[in-house]
Amino acid sequence: MDYFFTSWDRVRRSYEASIGVDLNTAQYVDSARALTDGTPFFLGSDMRPLEPHCSFFFEMAKTLKASSLRGYAYDFLALDDFLAALDPPSDLLAATEDDLLAYRRYCTEHREVPMAPATWKRHRTTINNFYDWAVQTKLLEGRPYFRKANGRDVLSWGSTSELDVRHLTFDQWSFLDRVGLRGLLPDGSVDRSFRSAYPLRNSGGGNLAITTGLRLREFRSPLDIEVGPPRRDGAAGEIELQAIAKFGLPRTVEVQDATLRELDWYRRTERAATVRKAAKSLTRHRDELFVVHDIDLRLMKVHGRQYGRRKTWTVKAMPTEVRRIAVVEGTHGLEPMALFVGRGGPMI
């Protein structure tokens, strides 16, 4: 069995039609009925779609993002490989409760590195989702294992609750910031052996996260226009979150004046230098980027073109995937709109 993940960008960039195949790839991937970007699909030994694998993930792709689909796909493949290696071999639709119990014991006890309860919980979620779908689509009359009224079943294992809340004191955080992120020695002098090229970005990002409670995806995804310069009266700034927030639930985050000043220092030095170096590289990939030509700061909307099509986004509604490729025309070429940028210009 072979498996792949759909990628609209790779199709646009690299696809070459076989002889006798008349297929307009750009028109296909832009179609309203095209597969969701990142959808996994599986091929059998005859290079034809493998069922029920493909149908299950086509259904999952209706509600999950590409990163989640990839994780579920690898969990699904691990179960499929385990069942095929049994003696006698089994498969997903023929698996019994004993087969699935054997898989649980293998993952949590017999592997070279047994899974932690939290990891097994994700694998169990994949199994539950598949058998719920198989029952709903009439592939099975019922799931092959019993589930109690409280939601627990024979695949339940371990506790994922952390009862010990661990924290950093202010002194510990200050030391981590100065020595671990900024590259200073404990006495405050410069550590010449420090290898990071972005101490201001790393420190600013860390302070933004720890003073606002932003999650990983949230604090690395803001655009430069969302985090304004420090105010003259020292008041806090605000970021309106929606698409990049957990579960997409909108909320407002306050950024304190001290953090705004640190971010502005980074913006005027490290970021400016990185953006200028990356301009030519980004310009070469213009066709793959969302090029913004008009920014309305009052309404917080951006207008631009992506793959030759006009696009208008409310900034807070922009998902991470769009933010990562959003650029504007600068003095030396295209410049990223992301606040925190890495080598080459893209969002970290």
For the entire predicted model, the pTM comes to 0.71
- Report the run of H or E that residue 3 belongs to, with start and end: strand 2-5
257-302 residue pLDDT tens: 999 999 999 999 999 999 999 998 899 888 889 999 999 999 999 9
Measured CA to CA in angstroms, residue 273 lies from 39, 198, 266 at distances of 37, 11, 10
How would you label 154-177 residue by residue, b for 16+ Cβ within 10 Å and e otherwise?
ebebeeeeeeeeeeeeeeeeeeeb
What is the phi/psi pair of residue 190, to 5°? -75, 135
**Res 329 pLDDT > 60:** yes
155-214 residue pLDDT tens: 888 765 555 567 788 899 999 999 999 999 999 898 989 988 899 999 999 999 999 989
Q: What is the pLDDT of residue 45?
A: 87
Q: What is the pLDDT of residue 26?
A: 66
Site of tokens 């992120």: 181
CA 289 to chain centre: 18
Confidence band for 14, pLDDT divided at 50, 70 and 90: confident
Terminal CA-to-CA distance of the chain, rounded, Å? Answer: 34
Measured CA to CA in angstroms, residue 119 lies from 116, 145, 334 at distances of 5, 20, 41
| Mean model confidence pLDDT for the chain | 89
Q: What is the pLDDT of residue 146?
A: 84
Q: What is the pLDDT of residue 162?
A: 55
Q: What is the pLDDT of residue 252?
A: 94
Q: What is the pLDDT of residue 97?
A: 92
286 within 8 A of 334, measured Cβ to Cβ: yes
Q: What is the pLDDT of residue 147?
A: 79
- Asked, as a colleague might, if the bond just before 52 is cis with ω within 30 of 0, I would say yes
Task: Give the separation between CA 187 and CA 332, rounded to whole angstroms.
Answer: 40
Torsion of CA 192, 193, 197, 203, to 10 degrees: -80
% of the chain surpassing 70 pLDDT: 95
Q: What is the pLDDT of residue 217?
A: 84
CB burial class (10 A; 0-12, 13-18, 19+) of residue 17? Answer: exposed
Mean pLDDT of 2-22: 77
Number of neighbouring beta carbons within 10 Å of residue 207? 20
Measured CA to CA in angstroms, residue 306 lies from 286, 289, 325 at distances of 9, 6, 9
**Res 41 pLDDT > 80:** yes
Confidence band for 82, pLDDT divided at 50, 70 and 90: very high
Mean pLDDT of 227-244: 92
88-131 residue pLDDT tens: 999 999 999 999 999 999 999 988 888 888 889 889 999 999 99
Contacts of 129 (CB under 8 A, 6+ apart): 60, 72
Closest CA to 201 of 341, 13, 297: 341
Closest CA to 131 of 97, 103, 93, 184: 93
Mean pLDDT of 323-340: 92
**Res 318 pLDDT > 70:** yes
Task: Give the separation between CA 70 and CA 75, rounded to whole angstroms.
Answer: 9
Q: What is the pLDDT of residue 178?
A: 92
Q: What is the pLDDT of residue 163?
A: 54
Task: Give the separation between CA 132 and CA 129, rounded to whole angstroms.
Answer: 5
Higher pLDDT, 247 or 304: 304
